[in-house]
Structure 1
């Protein structure tokens, strides 16, 4: 899918890099994959990968080095991919960790002060499991044993956000970030079709009354795409793709 979007990016001002923001990057796999896919097609890439966990960021750095050594990434990945610690929700108790908004404001405003759009692609696979589902057996035992809870379940303090369920709080914040930094394309992984539909509805509420137009879709949703890509008709994760229209 990233390659399908390449033509859209090529119409951008080629004097600046294609800018990607990867929120809740975890092990960095999305950022590394995007660099491998996009680097052959663009002379300049700027991938900003963000997570709150120093353990996850250290692992992402190890993965970056490992894939460079294996030759899976172009050497430019060392400078194209930046790993940063920040708080997506922005209301943590540790004041030493910057909010995503402040980190991106400092980074992007210095590199694109005159650009109408400062982010070409914002992508995220955030924590999306409710506290109840994590405890009641809905979440598989292997996931609960081997995945850190921080990467799966939004913290209880996130429930103070308005207009969303506690398990959707990261989407509320990420959609707000995408609007603030004028992302051309926003891609979000959701836990299931119901959550994906809630995220689309949340986006519509957030952009209500704005002059900018958007197109939001759940993928896969068509019967053909579900069958071709091995998705169950109702179960399993879904992607939400939001296009900022010119």
Structure 2
């Protein structure tokens, strides 16, 4: 990361010492000024007597890389206000973008999923704050007569926060009060234990979503690529790096083991569509290759989505991802949207 020029620090200090304190994290003056405004609003909403000294401390803490969402305690996510706490992964705008795009595809009917009586069931694994299932519920509850959305996570802290986010957004009016034929719930389970399959496979699941841990040990320990300093220092490794106590399946990398497990779960739950966040192009290649080798059905459709899947791609972006196959051939998978490669979308044949 390039150093900030002394000239920019002097310019920030003319606004206020707090803006200058925020500059190392914000990297530019407009962002620092904007974050100072949010921090002032946050401090003014507290009962702290010495608001000026509290603001200065928070600006210094933020300037050292501590995530703004943990300081403010929340992150906007579509129409929702998602509470954030240290120990649970912060929702990202890219996750919000593909969740919206998935909801739009479902509402348009182009996926041809959901029962004949307008029923829909969605399960989200590694749910964290609950941002994905809550947003899907908020966007879809008016479309379906029967809607069931479930989030699953191993972390007690995440489960508590996700359930709290349901209550919080219901109180704010961002989520409707649960109706008789609708369900929105959070369940604590380890997806590497077969109990989760036993509990879920008796129900029909139309859509399976997951933003699992997918960062390699090397990237976590040394940085670079997907992982910035602030993320490695302050956000939970449990939500980002696969555990060391899970055996690595044959022909899979350690950072990909959640995808191996999720695809196995999908074979039991038989969803009609799967959406998986991934880290980069090479991980997309590896996961799609494994899926195609083990699910050779010609009825399955696979797409790669960029950060903003509903936007037109910039002219310099690849529109196809070549997937090498074991027999030496390759298969071209379409890429849509703009930004970095972010997720894999699979529509399974009947």
Tell me if both proteins adopt one fold, taking TM over 0.5 as the criterion: yes
> Which residue of the partner structure matches residue 124 of structure 2?
22
Find the residue that maps to 1:202 and give its secondary structure: helix
Question: Which of 129, 137, 143 is the matching residue for 2:223?
Answer: 137
Count of aligned residue pairs for this structure pair: 222
Question: Which of 283, 290, 306 is the matching residue for 1:195?
Answer: 283
Question: Which of 149, 159, 172 is the matching residue for 1:70?
Answer: 172
> Which residue of the partner structure matches residue 178 of structure 1?
266
Q: Is the 8 A contact 2:113 2:272 kept in 1?
A: no
Asked if 1:126 is matched to 2:212, the reply is yes
- What is the TM-score when the length of structure 1 is the normalising length? 0.82
Question: Which of 61, 78, 81 is the matching residue for 2:184?
Answer: 81
Q: 5 Å matches for 1:1-246?
A: 1=101, 2-6=103-107, 7-8=109-110, 12-15=114-117, 17-76=119-178, 80-90=183-193, 99-105=195-201, 109=202, 112=203, 118-138=204-224, 139-208=227-296, 213-220=299-306, 225-227=312-314, 230-231=338-339, 236-246=340-350
CA shift for structure 1 position 160: 2.6
CA shift for structure 1 position 10: 6.4
Structure number with greater CO (CA < 8 Å, separation at least 6) is: 1
Q: Is the 8 A contact 1:216 1:243 kept in 2?
A: yes
Q: Aligned equivalents of 1:230 and 1:13: distance in 2?
A: 32
RMSD across aligned C-alpha pairs, in angstroms? Answer: 2.4
CA distance 1:11–1:120, shift in 2 (3 Å): closer
CA distance 1:147–1:11, shift in 2 (3 Å): closer
CA shift for structure 1 position 8: 4.5
CA shift for structure 1 position 229: 5.5
Instruction: Point out the more displaced range, 9-18 or 80-89.
Output: 9-18
CA shift for structure 1 position 171: 0.5
Q: Aligned equivalents of 1:87 and 1:122: distance in 2?
A: 16
> Which residue of the partner structure matches residue 95 of structure 1?
none
- What is the TM-score when the length of structure 2 is the normalising length? 0.59
Q: Aligned equivalents of 1:168 and 1:8: distance in 2?
A: 30
Find the residue that maps to 1:103 and give its secondary structure: helix
Q: Aligned equivalents of 1:22 and 1:10: distance in 2?
A: 20
CA distance 1:32–1:77, shift in 2 (3 Å): farther
Find the residue that maps to 1:154 and give its secondary structure: coil
CA shift for structure 1 position 60: 0.3
**Which of 1 and 2 has greater Rg?**
2
Q: Aligned equivalents of 1:11 and 1:27: distance in 2?
A: 26
Q: Is the 8 A contact 2:213 2:238 kept in 1?
A: yes
Q: Is the 8 A contact 1:35 1:77 kept in 2?
A: no
The runs of 4+ residues in structure 1 deviating greater than 6 Å are none
Q: Unpaired segments of 5 or more residues in structure 1? A: 91-97, 113-117
Instruction: Point out the more displaced range, 53-62 or 39-48.
Output: 39-48
Q: Unpaired segments of 5 or more residues in structure 2? A: 1-100, 315-335
